[in-house]
Amino acid sequence: MLNTRFSERVECLQTAQASQGHLISSSLLIAQETHQSLLKQMDQNERWQQKVIDGTFLHMEPRPRTIWDRNLLLHPGTKFYRRFAKQFQTCILRSLKFADIYRRGMGVSNPYPETFEWIYSSCSEDQSPNFVHFLEGNQNLFWITGKPASGKSTLMKMISGDPRTMRHLETWSAGKDLFVSRYYFWNSGAQIQMSSEGFLRTLIYEIVKDQPQLITLAFPDRLENFVLFGNGEFFDMPWDVAELAEAYKQLVLEIAKSNNIFILIDGLDEFQGEHSEQLKLIELLYSLLSLSSNVKICVSSRPWNVFADAFRTHPSLKLENLT
C-alpha cells in the first residue's frame, strides 16, 4: 500500500513537471514570436517613414532631392514655402521669445546730460584707447571695464542708442547697411537672463523677427521635424545651447555677406556659469569675429582676470579712470 501511494505521488510530480515544462516552452515560443513581430513592425515603420520623406520630396517640386535647396524651395513662389515656411517661422519666433527678453535693457537708466560725452571725443588726452577710432576703423573688439556701479550698463545703453554711434559705424561699413544687436546680462533677473541660452535666443530673435526668411536656414533639423510631424510637442522641447550657437553663427555669416554687424554685450560678469562656461562664452565671441571682417563687438564687464586675459590684446578703457 505504501509503495502504491509513493508511486502515485512520483507520477503526479512527473506529470506536474511535464506540464510546467510545456508551459515554459510555450512561453518561450510566444516571446520569440512577439520579438519577431516587433522587429517586423519596426521595419515596417522605418519603411513608412522613408515613404513619407520621399513623398514629401516628390510633391514639393519635381527636381529637388533635399529640402535645403534654398534657391528652389525657400523662394516665396514654391509649394514648400507656401505650405510650410510661414507656419514654421511663426512657431520658431514664438519659441525663441521669452517673457523678460527686453526687461533688462529697458530698465537701465539713461545717463545724465554730458556724463559720458567724452566717449565720442576724437582725441585722447590721457592716451587711453579711442572709442571713435574703434567704431570707424578695422579693430573688431572693444572692452569697457569698471568697478561695480561705475556706470558700465548706462554707458552701453547710451552707445547703443546714440545716433553718433551709427554715424561713426557708417565710416567703417563704407556704404553697407548696418545691423545692430544688443544684450544685457543680468544676475538679478530671471535665470534665463544670466544664461547662454537667454543670450543666444535674444540675439537670434532680434535677427529673425526682422528677417524671418532666414529661420529655415538657421534651424534645418527643426524644419525637417516640422515638415514631417507638424508643430505639436516638438516645439515644447527645450533649446540646446549648442544648437542655438550654431544657428546664430549661420545667421551672422549670412547677414555679413551684405551687411556690417555691430554687437553690444553688457555685463559679461553677470553671466552665471563656472570658469569653463565663461571661457566657452568668450570662445563664442571670438568665433563670431572669425566668421567675417564685417563683424564688430563691444563688451563690458568688471575687471575680472578671465576677461582681462581674454581681451588684453584689444583696445579697452577703465570707466572709473574717466568719470
| 220-229 contact pairs (CB < 8 A, 24+) | 220/68, 222/88, 222/92, 223/67, 223/84, 223/88, 224/67, 226/84, 226/87, 226/88, 226/91, 227/56, 227/67, 227/84, 228/49, 228/52, 228/53, 228/56
Closest CA to 317 of 128, 134, 183: 128
Q: What is the pLDDT of residue 64?
A: 41
Give the pLDDT of the chain (323 residues) as one tens digit per residue. 545 555 555 465 456 555 555 555 565 566 566 656 655 665 555 555 555 544 544 444 444 444 445 455 555 666 666 677 888 888 899 999 888 777 665 556 676 657 788 899 866 555 456 899 999 999 999 999 999 888 899 999 999 989 999 999 999 999 999 999 999 998 777 888 889 999 999 999 999 999 998 998 899 888 877 777 766 555 567 899 999 999 999 999 999 999 999 999 999 999 998 999 999 999 999 999 999 999 999 999 999 999 999 999 999 999 888 76
Tell me the C-alpha distance between 116 and 140, whole Å: 22
Closest CA to 96 of 251, 227, 228: 251
Tell me the C-alpha distance between 38 and 34, whole Å: 6
Tell me the C-alpha distance between 59 and 67, whole Å: 12
Domain boundaries, the chain: 1-59, 84-321
At 141, which helix (H) or strand (E)?
strand 141-145
Q: What are phi and psi of 301, to 5 degrees?
A: -170, 170
C-alpha cell at 115: 556724463
Sole residue written with cell 515613404: 51
pTM score over 0.75: no
CATH number of 84-321: 3.40.50.300
Q: Which amino acid is at 96?
A: L
